[in-house]
């Protein structure tokens, strides 16, 4: 018969300590992993929720006197960008095409193609907006004429206050132009 070497055997108390130590290390590992995951996910989650949580502000910009716009003509105007984001620059300007119709009715079109956002130009002789990037063409009312754009040009809300034409700049995505 073999004699029991009790020094080599693990006692019940030692076993409980080992289990507690193992459980503690497991919990610490999960907590550290959760913390690191939260820190890494926070910027992603806040950027996804930013458009929903950002307070929408209405910014009306003066673009000129009513008499500066001739009837049935299209004129490009620039105005201060209303973007609240730092990356847009401290002094950034955007542009729009303004068309004055009869009875002091105005329409403001985005300078960006509805296809991929390239800048469109007004061709007065042809009475068309043309996009040089992929051949997008728009009629003078902003509707799609030809090419890959899926729809007409975006339009901005416009109003007249004290004989000044004003454009709402926050409603649509706009690009910066150098001025």
Q: Is residue 173 part of a domain?
A: no
Question: Residue 99 belongs to what domain range?
Answer: 60-168
Give the whole-number percent of the chain exceeding pLDDT 70: 75
Residues 43 and 89 in one domain: no
Opening angle at CA 47, ends 45 and 49, nearest 5: 70
User: 112: Cβ–Cβ under 8 A, 6 or more apart, which residues?
Assistant: 118, 119, 120, 153, 154, 173, 174, 175
133-158 tens-digit pLDDT: 888 899 988 888 888 888 888 888 89
The residue-averaged pLDDT of 94-107 equals 87
CATH code (residue 71): 2.102.10.10
Q: Is residue 68 part of a domain?
A: yes
- The first and second tokens of residue 22, run together, are 């193992």
The reported pTM is: 0.63
Please tell me the total count of domains within the chain: 2
């Amino acid at each position: 018969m073999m004699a029991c070497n009790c020094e080599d055997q693990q006692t019940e108390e030692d076993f409980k300590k080992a289990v507690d130590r193992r459980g503690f290390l497991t919990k610490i590992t999960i907590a550290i992993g959760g913390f690191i995951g939260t820190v890494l996910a926070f910027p992603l989650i806040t950027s996804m929720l930013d458009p929903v949580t950002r307070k929408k502000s209405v910014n009306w910009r003066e673009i000129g006197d009513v008499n500066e716009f001739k009837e049935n003509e299209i004129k490009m105007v620039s105005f201060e960008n209303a973007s609240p984001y730092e990356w847009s620059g401290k002094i950034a300007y955007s542009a729009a095409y303004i068309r004055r119709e009869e009875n002091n009715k105005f329409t403001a079109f985005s300078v960006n193609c509805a296809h991929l956002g390239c800048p469109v130009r007004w061709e007065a002789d042809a009475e068309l907006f043309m996009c040089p990037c992929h051949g997008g063409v728009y009629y003078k009312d902003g509707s799609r004429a030809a090419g890959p754009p899926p729809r007409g040009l975006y339009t901005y809300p416009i109003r007249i206050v004290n004989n000044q034409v004003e454009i709402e700049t926050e409603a649509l995505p706009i690009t910066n132009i150098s001025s």
